[in-house]
Amino acid sequence: MKWFVDIARVFRREMSLIVSDMGVMIFFILLPLAYPIVYTLIYNPEVVRKVPVAVVDDSRTPESRELVRQASAAPAFGLYGYATDMAEAKRWWADRDVYAVMHIPSDYAKDIARGEQANVTMYCDMSLLLRYRALLSAMTSLQIKLAEDITEQRIDLYAGSMSGMAGLPVETDNHFLGDTQQGFASFVIPGIVVLILQQSMLLGIGMLGGTSRERRRANGGVDPLEIQDASTFSTVWGKALAYIVFYIVPTMFLLRYIPVIFNLPHHGDPVDYLLFIFPMVVASAFLGQALVALIKEREYVFLYIVFTSVVFLFLSGLTWPRYAMSPFWTAVGDLVPATHGVEGFIRINGNAASLYDNKEPFMALWILSGVYFLLAMLVTWWLRRPGRASAKASAQRSPSMAADTMPPA
Amino acid sequence: MSGVNIGFWNSVRREISRMGSRPLYLIMMVFIPLGCALFFISLMSSGLPLKTPVGIVDYDHSQLSREVTRNLNSTELLEICSKDESFHAAMEKVRQGDIFGFFVIPIDFQEDAMAGRKPALEFYSNMTYFVPGTLSFKGFKTIAVTTSAGVMRSELSYVGLTPGQIGALLQPVVITTHGIGNPWLNYSYYLTPSFSFATFALMIMLFTAYSITEEIKSGSSVQWLAVAKDRISVALAGKLLPQSVIFIVVMLCAVAIMFRFLHFPMNGSLLMFSLAVVIFVLASQAFGVLVCSALPNPRLAFSVISLLSVLTFSFAGFSFPVEDMYGAIGIFSYLMPVRYLFLIYVNTALNGFDTYFVRYYYVILLAFIPAGYMLVWRLKKACLKPVYVP
């Protein structure tokens, strides 16, 4: 029963260390609270609207004006103005007044009247693919709409026998799953919240570990605020439990309330996604303790962990799909709990998948929990190994340092 | 030599010996930034993720439906990974993440199409993943429309129309869209440079703040100033210039890898762009100094820098345009140096504009440098009486 009591003692001590450390509280509370809100506000306009477009109309006919009117009806198309020629349009583009130029050739109306194919050219700025994508899909819809309108008239003209037929013989019907409005926030935020969950844990745990290592150095290899007689096993578990318990509220907030507050897609059953995310929280609690091996001083978490957020975001496959990654990067991504967490949570949240549908990432998260638990044991044992205390004690620095680096517990 | 000069060179010498003293310096200044750049380059080396895994549900099993299936599989955008018997089976595969979309051919499709009863081809794209969702949509749409056109083509030729007339009937107006500067729709060309630059900005600012506040934390800041004859400007110059040199070399290395060896598009002048990179390094360092001067404490300075830098990846508008963000959020993008380097990159390297059109971005980047040293008197005060708050 001693190990059980020890876990409880370590748990209590770790909790008080968390609460008394301002830096850790920022990571554990403020970060999961404020960051997703800021992120969602950035992307909340969801779609690109009114991309300014210059029109060079060499046709100058009712048909060409009708084309521009119809194009302007698309939400993505914002008519900036008519340029006299391509040179002027190009100048507007270089001055960043427009992001696309639509060129209507002089024989546009003539071609339509003759029953020939008329050509319109759109030159699109590629500095952001999202703008291009919005304009391209607007132009595709416009092209289909024009085909329906004009073809109907022409069929009547050519073949009276087929006049009953309007438009194309086969209809196409597209549906978007998960993020039905193709909004950017609806796509990116469900992945980001999972990543924030993991990263804020790693940062906070790293900072606690780094502070402990500073105390250890200042006190001859012994951290005075640690439960000395607890075994490595009890220490790792006690700390992990403290982090897991602490994260109940942030997890609920991130996974449940952020989508609800911002009206993002949120279809999954809370039981499914909370059960699913549990092993990710466990794996992160252990991974954080393993990473303490790198964190010599409390501030090192910023140097070693902050930049990984971007790397982990890409490895999770949110921006660049995992099936297109090389086997090496897929394997590296497999080692990050958030990769599986993002995959599974997006499916549950966006596509209403069940826990069973996510059995693969779920199992992967438990395996990672096991691996990182062993790693955390190893690191904790190495930091607390007995030889270290005596070696350090002989080379002890001034004892007054201890008081400086100790948080007011 | 004057006293200031000696102070400067002694500061430089002191900084170089500090750099050599621990591996952290090398890791932060070289390995992490360069490693991240190589990571982005390697991860997205194919440019566009082709062969999106998709499924097909064929309720018809006719000659025409098999032809549609073959056509789907032959586009470079799609790869049919599963053939399912029902909508629900395909939906299950989407939920399990095996496929990112599926195509449904209705029952009696061929018969209805030939009889003019207008059957509908349906397709579903999973937009929870933006890129595979968009690409599968594009592939499905192309095949659906060409199938429809194919049916119509054969019908119209029965009534005696010429191929030219048929083409004009099917597509009376063709709108051709050209992507200027990146006709391949290469994702890497616009994500790799911008994300690498933003990572550089993060590491440069963090490192600047680290190297300054570390002196305050350990109490060596008094000695640091003493070496520079108690002149904060000399002390900062001696500390930061050796770092500038290393960061500039590392960053130009990354630029050379991208634009010289891997042939990323560079439609403007590489020399002018390299100049922008040099100014950008100095501007980022100045930003780091500004934060340290305002908050001469390692944790607080790092917190502010990390917060801003990580958000910069979003609000600098690398993927979602700043013009479409809420005004109150969008203005933040203009506070960070990397936004201007990004604008210089897309406008010169991709769009091929002359430097004239991006002149203001250079000016603003330059303006970051003096602006960063506005509050150094605060920093000096903190260095003379170092107080460490954990």
| Best to test chain A binding among B32, B109, B173, B353 (most A CBs inside 10 Å) | B173
> pLDDT by residue (tens digit) across B270-299?
999 999 999 999 999 999 999 999 999 999
Interchain proximity B128–A350, CB inside 8 Å: yes
**Interchain contact B137–A (C-beta under 8 A):** yes
Q: What is the DSSP letter of B129?
A: S
Nearest to A147 among B97, B164, B171 (CB): B171
Tokens of A201: 């844990």
Mean pLDDT of chain B: 90
Q: B61's torsion region: left (phi>0), alpha (psi -120 to 50) or beta?
A: left
Residue A115 with chain B: CB contacts under 8 Å? 165, 168-169
**Interchain contact A350–B (C-beta under 8 A):** yes
> Highest-confidence range of A263-267, B278-282, B327-331, B345-349, by mean pLDDT?
B278-282
- Give backbone dihedrals phi and psi of A133, rounded to 5 degrees, phi first: -60, -45
**Interchain contact B359–A (C-beta under 8 A):** no
Strand partners, B124: A175, B102
Interchain proximity B127–A303, CB inside 8 Å: no
Give me the mean pLDDT over the A293-298 stretch.
92
**Interchain contact B87–A (C-beta under 8 A):** no
**ipTM tops 0.90:** yes
> pLDDT by residue (tens digit) across A344-381?
999 999 999 999 999 999 999 999 999 999 999 999 99
* C-alpha to C-alpha distance for B11 and B14, rounded to whole angstroms: 5
| Banded model confidence at residue A140, pLDDT cuts 50, 70, 90 | confident
**Interchain contact A354–B (C-beta under 8 A):** yes
**Interchain contact A48–B (C-beta under 8 A):** yes
The reported pLDDT for the residue numbered B341 is: 95
| Banded model confidence at residue A404, pLDDT cuts 50, 70, 90 | very low
The reported pLDDT for the residue numbered A390 is: 54
Residue B44 with chain A: CB contacts under 8 Å? 320
* C-alpha to C-alpha distance for A76 and B336, rounded to whole angstroms: 28
Full strand arrangement of the beta sheet holding A118-125: A77-82, A51-57, A100-104, A118-125, B173-180
Interchain proximity A168–B309, CB inside 8 Å: no
Residue A406 above 50 pLDDT?
Answer: no
Nearest C-alpha neighbor of A258 from the set A194, A344, A176: A194
Interchain proximity B173–A117, CB inside 8 Å: yes
The reported pLDDT for the residue numbered A288 is: 96
Give me the mean pLDDT over the B97-124 stretch.
90
**Interchain contact B94–A (C-beta under 8 A):** yes
Q: What is the DSSP letter of B350?
A: I
* C-alpha to C-alpha distance for A169 and A167, rounded to whole angstroms: 7
Burial label, B63 (beta-carbon count in 10 A; 0-12, 13-18, 19+): exposed
User: Which residues, numbered 138 to 157 in chain B, qualify as contacts with chain A under a Cβ-Cβ cut-off of 8 Å?
Assistant: 140-141, 144-145, 147-149, 151-152, 155-156
Interface size A-B, in CB pairs within 8 Å, comes to 337
The alpha carbon of residue A3 is apart from the nearest alpha carbon of chain B, in Å, by 32
**Interchain contact B351–A (C-beta under 8 A):** yes
- Give backbone dihedrals phi and psi of B172, rounded to 5 degrees, phi first: -65, -30
The alpha carbon of residue B65 is apart from the nearest alpha carbon of chain A, in Å, by 12
Nearest to A302 among B148, B168, B302 (CB): B302
Give me the mean pLDDT over the B305-328 stretch.
88
Helix boundaries (H) for B219-297: 221-227, 232-256, 270-294
CB atoms within 10 A of CB A246: 22
| Best to test chain B binding among A307, A349, A401, A406 (most B CBs inside 10 Å) | A307
A335 neighbors A341 (Cβ within 8 angstroms): no
Nearest to A177 among B46, B126, B354 (CB): B126
Residue A407 above 50 pLDDT?
Answer: no
Residue A153 above 80 pLDDT?
Answer: no
Interchain proximity A45–B49, CB inside 8 Å: no
CA B267 to chain CA mean position, Å? 19
The reported pLDDT for the residue numbered A398 is: 42
Give me the mean pLDDT over the A163-173 stretch.
67
Looking up tokens 């917190």, which residue turns up? B303
The alpha carbon of residue B370 is apart from the nearest alpha carbon of chain A, in Å, by 26
Q: Is B172 helix (H, G, I), strand (E, B) or coil?
A: coil
